[in-house]
Amino acid sequence: MTHAHGLPDRGDLDGWLTWATQQLEPLDLTVDLLHRVAENGQRKRDGTSPLAPAQTPGQDQWSEAVISFREQTGWDKDETGGLSKTWHPSRSFYVVARAGDDSTGLLGRCPTPKTGLRTVLRDLIDEVPRTVPLFEVTGAGRHIPSSSEPPALWLFMFSFRDGVVYSELSRPAERVEDKITKYHQRIPLPPLPYTHADTSVIITPDDDLDAGPDIDVQPI
């Protein structure tokens, strides 16, 4: 995988937090904000009625993550083309939220959305230049997205495993079929310990797939 910045030491959580904070700063985001987004989505999933259809928990989780991200950033929403984008005010990049696979948030892995890319994301990744400068540096030393490049796609992916919420904000570079195979930059966040809400959600293999109709509408 190609990274714009070296990844932190997985055994140094304080150093990991500092590293992630530095990577997110040029994007006007913080670790706390993204942790809240991932946690709010998981809480919403926990609260799904046990009478709901099997795909509802994943849909609820994804929808709450998008809402939470937009509420906390105040950035513009964009629902065109069957994909929920949230645009940075500079219009130089946008964020798409998706549930991630079991490699999400882990160092040295190549995660991909849990339910695949679907047509819209596949097309967007195919349009990504193979080698581009990610940022320009101002005289004050601040990194800003390069104005000469097309708007960048950043994926915010989240995954709950073994009492921990894993998440990352990453910029895909290449794909093979329905999976991402390379990133321009990954920003895995430090793992977030999580306690399930006291609910009685039915957990079944189908439910865990987060699967809905295979159409290019909102991904989950």
pLDDT of residue 208: 44
pLDDT of residue 114: 94
Give me 88's structure tokens: 């940075």
Contacts of 217 (CB under 8 A, 6+ apart): 82
Q: Is pLDDT larger for residue 67 or for residue 200? A: 67
pLDDT of residue 128: 82
pLDDT of residue 196: 79
pLDDT of residue 164: 96
Q: Quick: pLDDT tens for 128-180.
A: 876 544 444 444 444 455 556 789 999 999 999 999 999 999 999 999 999 99
How far apart CA 78 and CA 191 sit, in angstroms, is: 29
Angle between helices 56-73 and 31-46 (to 10 degrees): 150
Q: Quick: pLDDT tens for 170-219.
A: 999 999 999 999 999 999 999 999 987 664 433 334 444 443 333 344 44
Q: Are 195 and 124 in contact (CB under 8 A)?
A: no
Q: Quick: pLDDT tens for 90-132.
A: 999 999 999 999 999 999 999 999 999 988 999 999 988 765 4
Q: Which H or E run includes 40?
A: helix 31-46
The verdict on pTM exceeding 0.85 is no
Answer yes or no: is pLDDT of 2 > 80: no
Nearest by Cα to 98 from 134, 131, 59, 129:
59
pLDDT of residue 211: 38
pLDDT of residue 129: 74
Q: Quick: pLDDT tens for 8-52.
A: 888 889 999 999 999 999 999 999 999 999 999 999 999 999 999
Please tell me the number of Cα atoms within 13 Å of 168 on its side-chain side.
25
pLDDT of residue 113: 96
Pairing type for strands 192-193 and 164-176 reads: antiparallel
Q: What angle do CA 116, 84, 68 make, to 5 degrees?
A: 105
pLDDT of residue 206: 44
pLDDT of residue 91: 96
Tokens 């920003």 locate to: 187
